Amino acid sequence: MGEMGKMAAAVGPVATLAAEPGEDAFRKLFRFYRQSRPGTVDLRGVIDFSVVHAARGTGPGAHKVVKSHLNVSSVSDHDAYRAGLQPVSKWRAYGLQGYPGFIFIPNPFLPGYQWHWVKQCLKLYSQKPNVCNLDKHMTKEETQDLWEQSKEFLRYKEVSKRRPRSLLEKLRWVTLGYHYNWDNKKYSADHYTPFPSDLAFLSEQVAAACGFQGFRAEAGILNYYRLDSTLGIHVDKSELDHSKPLLSFSFGQSAIFLLGGLKRDEAPTPMFMHSGDIMVMSGFSRLLNHAVPRVLPSPEGESLPCCLEMPLPADLPRDAVVEPCSVEDWQVCASYLKTARVNMTVRQVLAIGHDFPLEPMEENKRDITTEGSCHLDDENSQVKRARLNPDC
């Protein structure tokens, strides 16, 4: 077992769990968190970056948490403000020993500004011409505006909890920019729609603050998690330029994120992702195995994280990329997020000055639909629960 596996192997009772035949260390921990009954899962070994103090060595996993240095001068306070972020000088950023290139930024958003990004994920980014999981089963006319078809259902959700699910609640993923092909695990030049300018600006500021000036947001995968959703063990390796970071933004209910090694026999490190948290995977950490085995319902029942209770200010900067959010729109978003979370991952696909390689002739192609594919365990496939397609 490598250094990372040794560091993460002993996490409470998990180390004593019996492995199933052929089961690797990552899958073992994934199964532990996924299969634990609601309210009984042992979270003592899960790192919580919102409360951990690396310097004082307190909190779960604090012994492996280190402070990350940000490039404060690369993002002006005004540009941060335009994206709804606090000045970079006020951000807290952490890394983990043994995971070079991994940066975790606990909620750097200004109070209320998460509202914009949640609304964009549900109302705007889910619209055509962007691609979503419902497209395989429905016509373009039926998926033209999921928000309009769903908003009244969601607004009055509490009135009848046994009603059929709205289309927004059936949404599992949306792709932006260069649209990811789940069948062949590739991007292509001819499957592209304009990347949202506001999300590109947000991503570029975060990347610059982490030392990646010149980052170009070219592809996005939005994952929409219900409380029973999981994201399988996978590596994000389809982008043609791995020297650029992968950015991950979380909103809504908290989840457990597992970050492993280059091989799945290395036990992963578990950590919480709370609303507003940002993760950056770069360098060595860019090609590590990772997964989301569990979304955690609010301890108070169906409620929002406290950071989402503050409304978006009405007085926004004139050049802000953030737009106002009406009370009616937020009622729909809030109803949705009481039992869900949304994650935006943003990537640069191509190196500057490069283009997509020419495809080989059909007869020379290898079977890339099964080669190197990632999926949940067979035992998991027998459990009838919503799952997200992993990005291999």
Confirm or deny that 242 is annotated as ligand binding. Answer: no
Q: Are 248 and 276 in contact (CB under 8 A)?
A: no
Question: Could you tell me the two tokens for 278?
Answer: 């940002």
Helix (H) or strand (E) holding 220: strand 219-226
Q: Are 219 and 176 in contact (CB under 8 A)?
A: yes
Cis ω before 129 (30° cut-off from 0): yes
Confirm or deny that 234 is annotated as ligand binding. Answer: yes
* Closest-CA residue to 240 (of 347, 352, 349): 349
Helix (H) or strand (E) holding 66: strand 65-67
Classify strands 290-296 and 246-252 as parallel, antiparallel or unpaired.
unpaired
Number of C-beta neighbours around residue 4 at 10 A = 23
Cβ-based neighbours of 208, under 8 Å, separated by 6 or more: 71, 74, 75, 215
What would you report as the CA-atom Rg of the chain, rounded to the nearest whole angstrom? Answer: 20
Q: Are 207 and 105 in contact (CB under 8 A)?
A: no
What residues are designated binding site? 234, 236, 290
Known binding-site residue numbers for Fe cation = 234, 236, 290
